[in-house]
A and B are shown apart, each in its own frame.
Chain A
């Protein structure tokens, strides 16, 4: 006879089993691996072509009789930047998929109406939420772990790309930061599936949070246009000083900008930008705050109300 599981372990196992049964886990794993292959190929092909364009430019300048040829602008750039598109995909696609995981995690049981039954067992609401969060984190960690392995293998096998041990470690650091960012949005998805009354709202409200974090706050604090925020090179370059308005906005709203915390930490890990030291603790604090809010909401509202469309 197998040993009896604690309630938390039982819920975590159930969560992972449900994700696998619904094929959500397989789907997410597939999407992340496809994104990795795609982004590495795009990054590598762009880098190789730009280097070839540099050589062609040097030849052209030579025919024009140029006496001074500038050095290759890519020569001092970190080789890890062939992964920089992954930062954008995780910022956009990854966050939305994480919202779906968090949303499904609670809504599944809320829709089935089994929550009163679960709470009739010896499991407290904070324990229940903790177990859900652990299940979500484990699923996301497995996906990100697989993504790291594929990225590392690509780095080993791609021609003209030799990473040092320190760079492999930095890549791991990048994916660890990505995991923190994804957990934040999964927790937000879970929080709204507890507090919102209709099924559509439970999904749309976290998407609004995502829009605010990724597009609105960076525009307000940096003055960057939404499309410019999707280019890793623009993100890595220092924002020009746009005046007093943005300084005030940065001071007032900068601490809320989860998307920026992630891009700063991610670019720092990839060796594209300095700074971002404050971003990592901020992501930890936000994850803790949202997890606490979800537990508090479940205790207050019970979260077992019927759902409308």
Chain B
């Protein structure tokens, strides 16, 4: 009989536990549903945009048509994934937190952690096995979401993905994988470190709220250009140069606003993925080298958060698990 190393046994159990867990099933289903909804909504919004363009075109006389240079709305499949990315950064993070918390809570809460540690299995191997299991879960989930998104976008928009777009999508999903694993490690580390499990869960959610929703929201609402529907500077009929000249006089305020935004891992993830997928207009249709030259800083921060998550979860897990009630 072939006996697998303990770390793989733990990983396999973590994977099957998650699949059998109704809570994970509900969240995964909700996420897939949201992906479908966001792609559908983006496609309908695009169709409405095309219809508006056509109706505007129909109202122009032949002479006007010759004098005005009109650009019809272009369909970029990756841009249809804006909602998907936003759901992954908000709901995906909740799911990763829930899985990270449950991975530790089920051992601490059921008093099985001390029993497990009398086996030839160190605390680090136990946590490593759980992380490996989570890696499998997230890889399967992200692959499923990616495949689902490609099918939905191609099916609804009838525009196939090019090879370059598929590579960009794969890269965007890889960043998502790192982002989700960070939240998994973070919640697991809190469940390991705090004596009270409900308090660990509440703290994990509170920090998620602050860093994923509140801080980016504050940065966004402090943007002077966001104070008026359609944009403050657009309503002032100002050019890009004019905007830059005026904003330059308010550097302190802008630096504070930017500092708030960049303190959140979510904002770095969003900037990186929006650039890679071309959701941010200036990066649309640009080669990957160009995007990476601009966005390496965000990638570095995402990697640093991921590394910090790993360091936290592997910090003396044996002592903490053995001391659990």
Contacts and interface: CB of A to CB of B under 8 A. Distances in A.
Interface stretch (B68-76, B164-172, B244-252, B293-301): B244-252
* Contact residues of A: prevailing secondary structure: helix
Interface in A87-112: 88-89, 92-93, 96, 100
Which bracket fits the contact residues of A? 35 or more
A246 interface: yes
Contact of A93 (B44, B90, B209): B209
A74 B227 contact: yes
A243 B86 contact: no
A45 B105 CA distance: 43
A171 B27 CA distance: 37
A201 interface: yes
Contacts of B250: 49, 52-53, 56
A223 B213 contact: no
A237 B227 contact: no
Given A93-B214, A233-B226, A211 B30 contact: yes
A42 interface: yes
* Contact residues of B: prevailing secondary structure: helix
Interface stretch (B3-11, B122-130, B217-225): B217-225
A223 B221 contact: no
Interface in A1-53: 42, 45-47, 49-50, 52-53
Interface stretch (B140-148, B233-241, B305-313, B315-323): B233-241
A159 interface: no
B150 interface: no
B222 A73 contact: no
Interface in A213-257: 215-216, 219-220, 223, 225-227, 230-234, 236-237, 241-243, 245-246
Interface string B83-125: 1001100110010001000100110011000000000000000
A88 B217 contact: yes
Q: What are the 8 A-B residue pairs with the smallest beta carbon separation, nearest first?
A: A237-B229, A243-B48, A245-B44, A73-B228, A226-B86, A230-B217, A73-B235, A50-B224
Given A45-B253, A243-B44, A309-B110, 11 more contacts: A42-B221, A46-B224, A49-B250, A56-B249, A88-B221, A93-B214, A208-B26, A219-B37, A231-B226, A234-B226, A243-B45
17 contacts: A49-B253, A56-B246, A56-B250, A57-B233, A60-B245, A64-B242, A211-B94, A215-B90, A219-B38, A225-B83, A226-B90, A230-B217, A233-B221, A234-B229, A246-B44, A309-B106, A309-B109
